[in-house]
Each structure stands twice: as structure tokens, then as C-alpha cells.
């Protein structure tokens, strides 16, 4: 893979998709439909998916592509592929809460090694550079990258006073019970893959997810977190979360700064 070109293309397509999403988000009204699994889908999901898919297929025609909106067509087991969630956090989008993102990632041998997470309503753009390090770019965003700052996890988290981030739309009693096993200074909530990015920047130390997610929900945020020195592991045995699983469904997982002492259930 040409990582210089990959970084350029992922950034460009995420920004363009974000622009389309915001045009619909700022409209007076938009249609909402339910997919077969009862999750919502909007014109913004579909427009962003079409734009990103076309761009990636043109730039990288020999690399397999998996997207949420075309997931029914993906039946083969993959180890190296591009994976896209064109609008992660559709519930936040529908409720106009702003915590939605565009996610694009490249998975190599089952590991998300490059990714971009763009939160257009928040004006935050995170991505991995060609050498795999994670950065946050400051807006306004143009064709040429602006001011870029390296990001990194909290290197010395206080295990007696952790900052925890949890899902805004999928918080449940099981998650709360697990969080209670830690010494927690404070908690925040966020939607979509922004939770990974908050750990990646050191704004949070721990993000446990005890609920259903798909690989397109997590791959880009996982790549950004890994590039910032963080880890994402399975909830059950603390082995690294792998990608290219049959059906692309994730087990429960924990994203964290390595200094956090994980608790076994």
C-alpha cells in the first residue's frame, strides 16, 4: 500500500463526505428510513457512502472495500481491506446532537493500521499519517492540510482517578457496572467513534463497550487510537481486537491508554 497516497485520499474523501453530510444536516428536514436491523439510515448516509466508495475504488481498485451501506454484498472472509462507515452515529445525526463522524480505515492482516475520523459538526479531524502516527488537524480544512498536532494517550493515568468515556446512545446497566470496578475521577459521553479519539488525545483514559458494534463502526477510531499509543482489546480475554471476522461483527471490547490497569470481569 502507498501510505502517502492513502492518507491523502482518506482525508480528502472524509472532508468531501462531511460537506455533503452537513448540507443535509442543516436542511429543515430529511427523510429517515429503517434498515433490516431497525437501525436508521438517511440520505446523508447514502450520499457519503456513494462518494467515498467511488473515490476509494478509483484510487485503490485492487483493494477489497467494505462499507456499512453495502454490507449485504460482503460475504467473503478478508484480511486486508478498506472499511468505511460513511456516517457513524446516525442516531446523533437524526437528533441533531453533532456527535457523528465519517470513518475510513485500512486493515492489513486483520489490524487497522491507518484511519481517518472526521466529525464535521464538531470541526474535529483525526487521522494517521503515512508513517502511522496519529494527528489532529486544526480547521478550517482545505485541500492542503493545515496546522497538524501529534496526539497521544495519557501516558500516566491515575488508576485511582480515571477519566472514562461511554456511549451516548447505547449506555446500559452492564457498562455502568463494569465502570464501577475502577477508580473514576469523572465520566463523559460521546457518540460514534469520537470515543476512541478522546482516548487517543488523552481527554479520556478508558472506553469500555459492552454492546453490539460492527467493524466499520470501530476500525478508523481503532487505527487512530493505536497510532496514538493506545490499545483496543476484547472484553472477555483482553486479546487484541481483530478485523475481517465473519459477518464483520465485533465482540465486546475495551479501548484504553496502556497505563490503565484493566479489570477482569
pLDDT in tens, 82-126: 999 999 988 888 888 888 999 999 999 999 999 999 999 999 999
Per cent of the chain over pLDDT 70 is: 91
Using pLDDT thresholds of 50, 70 and 90, give the confidence band for residue 199: very high
Q: Is 202 annotated as a binding residue?
A: no
Mean local confidence (pLDDT), 55-76: 85
Cα–Cα dist 102/89, whole Å = 9
Q: Is 67 annotated as a binding residue?
A: no
- Do 70 and 79 form a contact (C-beta atoms < 8 A)? no
Mean pLDDT for all residues in the chain:
91
Mean local confidence (pLDDT), 163-179: 85
Q: Is 87 annotated as a binding residue?
A: yes
**Can you give the pLDDT at residue 38?**
46
- Do 193 and 153 form a contact (C-beta atoms < 8 A)? no
Q: Is 90 annotated as a binding residue?
A: yes
Residues paired with residue 149 on neighbouring β-strands, in sequence order: 136
Q: Is 85 annotated as a binding residue?
A: yes
Residue labelled with grid coordinates 477510531: 221
Mean local confidence (pLDDT), 212-229: 97
- Do 154 and 257 form a contact (C-beta atoms < 8 A)? yes
Ramachandran area for residue 263 (φ above 0: left; ψ -120 to 50: alpha; else beta): beta
162-256: CATH architecture: 3-Layer(aba) Sandwich (3.40)
Classified by CATH at the fold level, domain 3-150 comes out as Fructose-1,6-Bisphosphatase; Chain A, domain 1 (3.30.540)
**Can you give the pLDDT at residue 170?**
66
Task: Identify the burial level of 10 via C-beta atoms within 10 angstroms of its C-beta, where 0-12 means exposed, 13-18 middle and 19 or more buried.
Answer: buried
Using pLDDT thresholds of 50, 70 and 90, give the confidence band for residue 29: low
The one-character DSSP state at 247 is G
- Do 172 and 210 form a contact (C-beta atoms < 8 A)? yes
Q: Where are the domains of the chain?
A: 3-150, 162-256
Cα–Cα dist 108/113, whole Å = 6
- The answer to whether 3-150 and 162-256 have equal CATH topology is no
Cα–Cα dist 85/53, whole Å = 10
**Can you give the pLDDT at residue 76?**
72
pLDDT over 80 at 15, yes or no: yes
Cα–Cα dist 190/80, whole Å = 29
Q: Comparing 67 with 93, which gets the higher pLDDT?
A: 67
Q: Is 131 annotated as a binding residue?
A: no
Q: Is 265 annotated as a binding residue?
A: no
Q: What is the DSSP string of 147-216?
A: -EEE----SS--TTSEEEEEESSS--HHHHHHHTTS-EEEEEEE-TTHHHHHHHTTS-SEEEE-S--BHH
Mean local confidence (pLDDT), 184-210: 95
Residue labelled with grid coordinates 477489497: 64
Q: Comparing 69 with 13, which gets the higher pLDDT?
A: 13
The one-character DSSP state at 120 is T
Amino acid at each position: 500500500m502507498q501510505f502517502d497516497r492513502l492518507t491523502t485520499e482518506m482525508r480528502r474523501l472524509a472532508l468531501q463526505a462531511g460537506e455533503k453530510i452537513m448540507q443535509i444536516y442543516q436542511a429543515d428536514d430529511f427523510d429517515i428510513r429503517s434498515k433490516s436491523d431497525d437501525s436508521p439510515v438517511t440520505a446523508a448516509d447514502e450520499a457519503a457512502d456513494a462518494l467515498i466508495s467511488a473515490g476509494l475504488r478509483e484510487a485503490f481498485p485492487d483493494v477489497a472495500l467494505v462499507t456499512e451501506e453495502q454490507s449485504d454484498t460482503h460475504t467473503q472472509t478478508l484480511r486486508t481491506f478498506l472499511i468505511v462507515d460513511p456516517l457513524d452515529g446516525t442516531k446523533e445525526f437524526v437528533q441533531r446532537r453533532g456527535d457523528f463522524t465519517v470513518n475510513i480505515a485500512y486493515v492489513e492482516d486483520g489490524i487497522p493500521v491507518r484511519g481517518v475520523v472526521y466529525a464535521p459538526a464538531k470541526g474535529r479531524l483525526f487521522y494517521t499519517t503515512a508513517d502511522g502516527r496519529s494527528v489532529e488537524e486544526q480547521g478550517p480544512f482545505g485541500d492542503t492540510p493545515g496546522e497538524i498536532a501529534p496526539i497521544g494517550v495519557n501516558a500516566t493515568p491515575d488508576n485511582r482517578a480515571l477519566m472514562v468515556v461511554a456511549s451516548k446512545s447505547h449506555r446500559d446497566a452492564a457498562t455502568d457496572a463494569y465502570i464501577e470496578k475502577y477508580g473514576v475521577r469523572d465520566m463523559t459521553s460521546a457518540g460514534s467513534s469520537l470515543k476512541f479519539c478522546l482516548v487517543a488525545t488523552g481527554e479520556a483514559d478508558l472506553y469500555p463497550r459492552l454492546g453490539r458494534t460492527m467493524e466499520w463502526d470501530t476500525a478508523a477510531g481503532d487505527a487512530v487510537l493505536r497510532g496514538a499509543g493506545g490499545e483496543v482489546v476484547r472484553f472477555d480475554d483482553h486479546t487484541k481486537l481483530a478485523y475481517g471476522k465473519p459477518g464483520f461483527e465485533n465482540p465486546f471490547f475495551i479501548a484504553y491508554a496502556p497505563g490503565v490497569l484493566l479489570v477482569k470481569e
